[in-house]
Structure 1
């Protein structure tokens, strides 16, 4: 029997198995910056300044976020919601990478097209060129580079034809911009929203939009029936006892060892013997919790989110599925061992991030038990 811990991380939209090293990534960025320096500077000169985006007349919007990771894809959902709020009569096109955005966002009423760049552009050069031609063939009222310091996003912004272009000025820009006076928000989910609100000429006083997939009642109902079957019938169905989803996978150093999860769960069950744990299995199909719990497996992201939406709580390390749980609306506890919770953590009144670096598995379980006591 293969050891689950030896399997590669979930690859639905998180990270390719042979991700480049940081050094290779830096060299690649320098090469791109060198080749497209003039184009990038020219695009920076076209960026919309704060308070210059009109309140009316924005009907065709392009959002550029060419990233294949599930978490980064989900973190633009607040920007989509903000566009829908400020420009309720607008139509949105989205350029992403991989298949996550198409699976997650095509059902949104105002989203017209989701363009998906292939992960390996060099291997699919003609398909990539054809997609870029499609983007170039449309004329937009507003094009948004949704993340600062993204060369691919800035190149897409350069390619797009739009009356207004919105993005953070790059480091290579010599232009004196009013954006320099506005500090960039720490959390990635806030940055695109901050860009749009700051450029918008009208008033925006609402709270930060949450991550939200806008799951339909039908999706949730079908998932509720599936979860009942997973739990083994009406005696253990949702509502009879707290159902807690756990996802034990993550990429690289963010993933906790199997032994850590065993200690964590043993302690948590001692503190909360009433909870029912559901093991959400990663794409490789092998349980990382030892097949000791009811489990659910799917490669359909909306289906997975709908199942999580029927749970009372969700616990995982920092990963794309953690953000998927937040977007489902289920209270989520994110465990952070290497990354910055202020930048990537689940935000909102029902969600919490825990820095586990100074803590043992039992200490984290105690925190989780206290957190669950406030919610179920």
Structure 2
């Protein structure tokens, strides 16, 4: 297959999933250095791709648009005259948008009726793949392949922050009374779904140990919807050297996380943001599959923690067990287990 003048990459939704596509962006740019490359995604999550040197344009999609606004968007999309669309999401909306873009070459997953909207549907594979390899395999039809096993450079996720953004984060943390000369550890007790949330009491106890035993700052991050939870965690702590941040936008959060020494998060978007800005990250997993959704090497200071239980993986948003088995995967992951990993990773410098 030859070259393409204008390329559209799209993963419409979910913060972490979009971050996990950044190796695709880099690989496409390397293959087509002179092409115009755009990215289409949710208007909020796509901000994480600002300043990405491999992209020429970001195309935000507002899921609250009226039908008329959506039709106008499609008309505008068609005027951009893309030659190639790579749809890394494959839901009905993204498949239809890929088809209606007018691109002659369209790559997407072989999912039900949607496969007919692509010129190169990618068949389902029995091979167990992490999320990054899953995305990279979509590039085979355009001649982009990788040696096995994938290297760290092939798999590395990236968020590009400006000097001004990092300076803002430094001043912001100072304004909260945080001494940046001390080790600083971030914790994120929230998640999209309750089944993915380690208990707030555990996060509070972990914060206490980090602050008191390691003489480190602990910052609690949260979205607007998680503010109440963050305050509840804070109120369960000793409050000494422990700070609740404001509900930051995604780029502000990324900027702050780039300054911390270690971040401990449930399996959710901020976990992926932390890794992509180069911060050591501990991912806490319950119902999710860490071999798929935490494709980050321990050699770079990243660690997924999960205790095996008979019902894993359940893929449930809400735990359906009762009594002693309710949230068993999270109950068995103790504060001691997580704190021991914190100590190990911080000692690595």
Q: 1:350 aligns with which of 289, 296, 301?
A: 301
Q: What secondary structure sits across from 2:287 in the alignment?
A: coil
After the TM superposition, which of the residue ranges 177-186 and 152-161 deviates more from structure 2?
A: 177-186
How many Å separate the matches in 1 of 2:341 and 2:207? 10
Q: Could you give the per-residue CA deviations for residues 54-88 of structure 1, whole angstroms, max 9, x where no partner exists?
A: 3xx32311112222x22222222221122222222
Q: Identify the residue that residue 258 of structure 2 maps to in structure 1.
A: 309
How many Å separate the matches in 1 of 2:85 and 2:333? 46
Q: What secondary structure sits across from 1:111 in the alignment?
A: coil
Structure 1 residues 214, 347: CA separation in 2 closer, same or farther (over 3 Å shift)?
A: same
Q: Identify the residue that residue 58 of structure 1 maps to in structure 2.
A: 4
Q: 1:88 aligns with which of 33, 54, 61?
A: 33
Q: What secondary structure sits across from 1:323 in the alignment?
A: helix
Q: 1:222 aligns with which of 168, 174, 180?
A: 168
Offset at residue 322 of structure 1 (A): 1.0
After the TM superposition, which of the residue ranges 280-289 and 323-332 deviates more from structure 2?
A: 280-289
Q: 1:279 aligns with which of 193, 213, 220?
A: 220
Q: 1:369 aligns with which of 329, 338, 342?
A: 342
Offset at residue 318 of structure 1 (A): 0.7
Q: What secondary structure sits across from 2:103 in the alignment?
A: strand
Q: Identify the residue that residue 313 of structure 2 maps to in structure 1.
A: none
How many Å separate the matches in 2 of 1:282 and 1:269? 23
- Listed as ranges, the matches of 1:55-134 within 5 Å are 57-67=3-13, 69-101=14-46, 103-120=47-64, 124-134=66-76
**In the alignment, structure 1 residue 320 sits paired with structure 2 residue 269:** yes
Q: Could you give the per-residue CA deviations for residues 92-143 of structure 1, whole angstroms, max 9, x where no partner exists?
A: 2222124220x2223324433333332345xx21111111121122222221
How many Å separate the matches in 1 of 2:126 and 2:93? 22
Q: 2:196 aligns with which of 225, 234, 254?
A: 254
Q: Identify the residue that residue 80 of structure 2 maps to in structure 1.
A: 138
Contact 2:122 2:138 in 1 (8 A): no
Structure 1 residues 251, 168: CA separation in 2 closer, same or farther (over 3 Å shift)?
A: closer
CA-based RMSD: 2.8
Structure 1 residues 202, 337: CA separation in 2 closer, same or farther (over 3 Å shift)?
A: closer
Offset at residue 189 of structure 1 (A): 2.8
How many Å separate the matches in 2 of 1:229 and 1:299? 14
**In the alignment, structure 1 residue 191 sits paired with structure 2 residue 130:** no
Offset at residue 339 of structure 1 (A): 1.2
How many Å separate the matches in 2 of 1:219 and 1:185? 38
How many Å separate the matches in 2 of 1:302 and 1:193? 25
Q: What secondary structure sits across from 1:228 in the alignment?
A: helix
Q: TM-score, normalised by structure 2?
A: 0.78
Q: TM-score, normalised by structure 1?
A: 0.73
Aligned residue pairs: how many? 309
Q: 1:263 aligns with which of 180, 183, 205?
A: 205
How many Å separate the matches in 1 of 2:70 and 2:121? 35
Structure 1 residues 71, 194: CA separation in 2 closer, same or farther (over 3 Å shift)?
A: same
**In the alignment, structure 1 residue 245 sits paired with structure 2 residue 186:** yes
Q: Which runs of 5+ in 2 are unaligned?
A: 308-328
Offset at residue 182 of structure 1 (A): 6.0
Contact 1:247 1:282 in 2 (8 A): no
Q: 2:158 aligns with which of 191, 212, 215?
A: 212
Q: Identify the residue that residue 311 of structure 2 maps to in structure 1.
A: none
**In the alignment, structure 1 residue 333 sits paired with structure 2 residue 333:** no
Q: Which has the higher contact order (CA 8 A, sep 6+)?
A: 1
Q: Could you give the per-residue CA deviations for residues 304-357 of structure 1, whole angstroms, max 9, x where no partner exists?
A: 111110111100101111111111111110001111112212513321111142
Q: What secondary structure sits across from 1:256 in the alignment?
A: coil
